[in-house]
């Protein structure tokens, strides 16, 4: 599933970040890296999402959110 398909409040682990090479460094700076556990807090218009990465909140546009593959984390 992708971040855009993820329901709110579900903890998920990032399994793949399929962004262009020039965007990968910025994605890592925002906490979007394989193995990171995040939670979608809000869904925005046009597929954008706000995710919680630790105590930080990060807004991600829809195109990028569709490139991030995730899997649910066992409770």
| Predicted model pTM | 0.89
pLDDT digits (tens, 9 = 90+) for 40-72: 999 998 889 999 998 999 999 999 999 999 999
Q: Is 63 left (phi over 0), alpha (psi -120 to 50) or beta?
A: alpha
Contact 42, 50 (CB under 8 A): yes
Domains and CATH numbers, the chain: 11-72 (2.30.30.90)
In the prediction, which pLDDT does 66 show?
93
Question: 3-class SS at 56?
Answer: strand
Q: Number of C-alpha atoms within 13 angstroms, CB side, residue 39?
A: 12
Element (H, E) at 27: helix 21-29
Q: What is the torsional sign of CA 8, 13, 19, 21?
A: positive
């Amino acid at each position: 599933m992708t971040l855009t398909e993820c329901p709110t409040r579900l903890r998920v682990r990032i399994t793949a970040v399929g962004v262009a090479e020039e965007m990968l460094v910025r994605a890592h700076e925002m906490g979007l890296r394989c193995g990171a556990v995040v939670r979608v807090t809000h869904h925005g218009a046009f597929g954008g999402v706000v995710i919680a990465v630790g105590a930080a909140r990060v807004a991600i546009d829809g195109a990028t959110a569709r490139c991030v593959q995730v899997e649910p984390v066992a409770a």
